[in-house]
Structures are given as structure tokens and as C-alpha cells.
Amino acid sequence: MDYELLYIVDVSLEEEPRKELIARFNALIEQNGGKTEKTEEWGKRRLAYLVNDKPEGYYVLVNFSAPPTFPKELERLLEIDDNVMRYLITRVEHKRSNVKPQAQRAVPQGQAADVPEPDVEAVAEANEE
């Protein structure tokens, strides 16, 4: 299964220990039968509210695949790490089709989307039946 992990690291952590923390969690995924697809360090950002009396955190986003039992263990380990302020693991659902629904197609600015008019007669006939 595919997952997305977003966690916030305390900004008071120096760069080298922060890099080690990120590498440790990525290695943990690999050791438990998972595969890290991509790790993005979003960097230092302002929080919406104070967390542990701190206004900022260092954001890290990890896309990974792992067995369905692993995220629970990963949550446990994130919870006990004092340098991780917040975290969220979500399961990613992939769409199987490459075709975009008509309502989501990009329409150049200034042009109207070619949305077909509803067939009023067919709707009326269906309602009569």
C-alpha cells in the first residue's frame, strides 16, 4: 500500500541531527519491508498555532509504500521521538485511469468549457417511466 507521511521537526534541532533523524525514519521504512519513493524537505515554516510553545517547525514529506501493518508502528515511533512535534500518515489511493473527467479538464483562460447541454427530452421520458 502507498502512504504519505508529513511530519514537523523542532526547528531548534541543528542541521546535522535533523538530517540523521530524517535518514533514520527513511531507513526504518526500508527495514520494515517498505520502500521510500520520495522525501521532500519543505523546510522551516510558520505553524498555524503554537506547538510546544514554538511558532515554527521544519516540515518533511515522505511518500512510501509499506505493508498495511507498518504505519501503526511508525506512528508509535514518531510519537515517542521528542524532536517530532506533529505527524500525519495518510494512505494514498491511486486512480487506475489516465483519463481525466470532463469537469476537471483544463480550459484556457477566456474560453468556455464545452460542457454538453443536458438532453431535456431524455430526462423527461426517464422521469415518466
Q: What is the CA radius of gyration of the chain?
A: 23
Q: Is the pTM of this model over 0.75?
A: no
* 48-81 confidence digits (pLDDT tens): 999 999 999 999 999 999 999 999 999 999 999 9
- For residue 59, give the H/E element and its range: strand 54-65
Triad 57, 73, 75: Cα angle to 5°: 25
Q: What is the distance of C-alpha 37 from the center of its chain?
A: 12
Residue partners of 105: CB distance under 8 A and separation at least 6: 113
pLDDT at 124 over 70: no
| Cell triple for 2 | 502507498
Q: Is the pLDDT of residue 26 over 80?
A: yes
**85: nearest Cα among 128, 39, 53, 121:** 53
Coil, strand or helix: which one is 77?
A: helix
Q: What is the mean pLDDT of the chain?
A: 84
Which domains does the chain show, CATH number per domain?
Answer: 2-91 (3.30.70.60)
